[in-house]
Structure 1
Amino acid sequence: MNISVTLLGATGWVGKELVAAITAAPDLTLAAAMARQAAGQDVGLATGGAALGLTVAGSLEEALAIPSDVVIDYTAPTAVKGHALAAIAAGRAVVVGTSGLTGEDYTEIDEAARKAGVGVIAAGNYSITAALMQRFALLAARHVADVEVIDYASAKKPDVPSGTARELAERLSQVRMEATSRPVGELIGPQESRGATVGRTQVHSVRLPGFVLSCEVLFGAPDERLSIRHDAGSSAAPYVAGTLLAVRRVREQIGLRRGLDTLLD
């Protein structure tokens, strides 16, 4: 069965890779694409490829006016929630690739999706190896009480923590045991030095030139430590396969599913 796709953020870092991958996939069709700065252009030419005969929409309303099965969002953290809710209201399944949403945002999206009877898959990172990191970390958290997350990115990344780190911290908080470390509120000195509390997990965001995207989960137990780390490269290619896996699976459910690792089985 062919799946028609609306791609929001088509000329972005990941969006360009997705345009090529969707058009090359025999079971997928790129029905609509949105990118405000490239509005009116052919989406193939706008993303550095051959002409595809599909004009880039300049607004969400214009993109959603074209029928499709699934909406993929790789836009901006400030826009993705509104885009997701609008797509759900239009009866579309949604794959959220943009980071920056909070747990409260996801609750609202889940409620809207269940009411509309559509599926949503959201992941802070659609890399298969990043999904494996999350899977292994969630398993370890059931056996080791103390865990913290370190999130690395370039100095230009606007959101903290990264979507990968935020999602990981929230999901760790759901399964982990009580920490043995001293509570942040009982510390002497600047409590901010212990990072931000996301759910029940401390997260530290490093933003420096020379870093791309990395996420490290640190576990500590008496006389031993465990580190699970994912390092991304400089291209968007690792995120394509996971995004398309989500596109192919999102209509199997109603409501929100978080984390690409939940699809790996």
Structure 2
Amino acid sequence: MPAGNAKGILMIRIILAGATGWVGRALVPAIDKAADLELVAALSRNHAGLDLGVALGGKPSGVPVFARIEEALATPADVLIDYTKPNVVKAHALAALKGGLNVVIGTSGLGAADYAELDAEALAHKRGLLAAGNFSITATLLKRFTLEAAKYVADVELIDYASATKPDAPSGTGRELAEALAGVRQGATSRPVSEVVGVPETRGGAFGEGAHEVRVHALRLPSFVLGVEAIFGAPDERLTIRHDAGSSAAPYVAGTLLATRKVSGWTGVRRGLDTLLD
């Protein structure tokens, strides 16, 4: 249970994985300014053993930095926020759930099968987990508007834009949207990929099955940060819904903190910030 501070405010104690990364650096001062949030430990392999304030180039903050999730979990906490790497986020989340923490995941790279496993663990320990491919409000609206358009227009494909160095494809934003679309879209009228000649792989990666699958085309080029474009086609008309992220991590902060405050309100996994908007 969250602990109260000297003013009687119920504090949510946070372990931040990826605290010295792009989004983590933006979250640290935001958590520090919040009256109801307290950062109690951080994870960063490259800065383990340091005080987090020193690791970020400032004054000591009293927040220890650990290399391993098991070490960080020795500090009493309520929520794990993870902005790390696709190859470690699942292990972090499983360990946190087993340790009695709720979890907020901003790291991309996990799929439906991974979240099914995390859901079972969260239910077993009566904890909540919220994962979002993107915690910005405009990216959340991209998902909402795209799912609404899919009710009326049968044919849709996604283009996923990211930097040349991004390790996963598609992005978490693109993957979350594709998996959601595959569950609600109408049957496509385009020629099945099994009937395509030439290089069928150029038709993109598939999410879902049969006529309801969603094709995603991932571009990885310099100058992009993150963008997802949903293109709908009907006879003699098209609709494009697109989100582009800038170079700052600021748009992800408010959504992440909202999830941190809300995640104790259910058990099991929820995917997408849109599940909290209403």
TM bucket by the smaller chain?
over 0.9
CA deviations 1:170-196 (Å, max 9, x no partner) are 000111111111111111111111000
**Quick check: 2:40–2:64 contact (8 Å CA) kept in 1?**
no
Once the two structures are TM-superposed, the CA of residue 51 in structure 1 deviates from its matched residue by: 2.3
State how 1:22-37 maps to structure 2 within 5 Å: 22-37=31-46
Q: Are 2:243 and 1:243 aligned? A: no
CA deviations 1:111-160 (Å, max 9, x no partner) are 11111110000000011110011111111111111111100011111100
State how 1:87-236 maps to structure 2 within 5 Å: 87-199=96-208, 200-236=213-249
Distance 1:25 1:50 in 2: 19
Q: How many residue pairs were aligned?
A: 265
Give structure 2 stretches of 5+ with no counterpart.
1-9
Give structure 1 stretches of 5+ with no counterpart.
none
**Quick check: 1:8–1:74 contact (8 Å CA) kept in 2?**
yes
Once the two structures are TM-superposed, the CA of residue 226 in structure 1 deviates from its matched residue by: 0.7
In the superposition, the TM-score normalised over structure 2's length comes to 0.93
Q: In structure 2, what residue type is equivalent to 1:217?
A: A
Question: Equivalent pairs: percent with the same residue?
Answer: 62
Distance 1:144 1:48 in 2: 51
Once the two structures are TM-superposed, the CA of residue 22 in structure 1 deviates from its matched residue by: 0.6
CA deviations 1:223-244 (Å, max 9, x no partner) are 1111110010001111111100
In the superposition, the TM-score normalised over structure 1's length comes to 0.98
Once the two structures are TM-superposed, the CA of residue 45 in structure 1 deviates from its matched residue by: 2.2
Distance 1:52 1:221 in 2: 56
Distance 1:55 1:115 in 2: 30
